[in-house]
């Protein structure tokens, strides 16, 4: 995916989530463990969002492309982000899957722990 496509997908996902009451805190937050596409706040809950875009479903859905390895990287990056906060809020990991012009698929609590 080109960076322009990725930025467009992230903007679309952020706007979608904001229209559902979430507040954008950070975009493309990077650390040595990886990158978190969007960090948002849903009430008192901190939400780490992975944005996935698929133009074709030949290799599975956008949501299915968040592999266990990707989840582990996201968890490590989230722990790093949380280490910068004075108090730890409740957290969750969401996925926003985008495919063509269909409405975004918002998967709340897409994963919480990777075994």
Q: What is the pTM of this model?
A: 0.88
pLDDT given for residue 115 in this prediction: 44
10 Å CB burial of residue 16 (0-12, 13-18, 19+) is middle
How many domains does the chain contain in total?
Answer: 1
Residues of the chain with pLDDT under 70: 1-2, 55-64, 113-115
Domain containing 92 — which CATH number? 3.40.1350.10
Q: Which domain holds residue 59?
A: 3-111
């Amino acid at each position: 995916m080109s960076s322009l496509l990725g930025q467009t997908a992230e903007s679309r996902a952020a706007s979608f989530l904001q229209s559902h009451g979430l507040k954008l805190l950070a975009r493309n937050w990077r650390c040595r463990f990886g990158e978190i596409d969007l960090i948002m706040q849903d009430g008192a809950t901190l939400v780490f969002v992975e944005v996935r875009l698929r133009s074709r479903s030949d290799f599975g859905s956008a949501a299915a492309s968040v592999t266990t390895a990707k989840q582990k990287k996201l968890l490590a990056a989230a722990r790093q982000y949380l280490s910068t906060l004075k108090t730890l809020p409740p957290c969750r990991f969401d996925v926003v899957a985008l495919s063509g012009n269909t409405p975004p698929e918002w998967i709340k609590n897409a994963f919480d722990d990777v075994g």
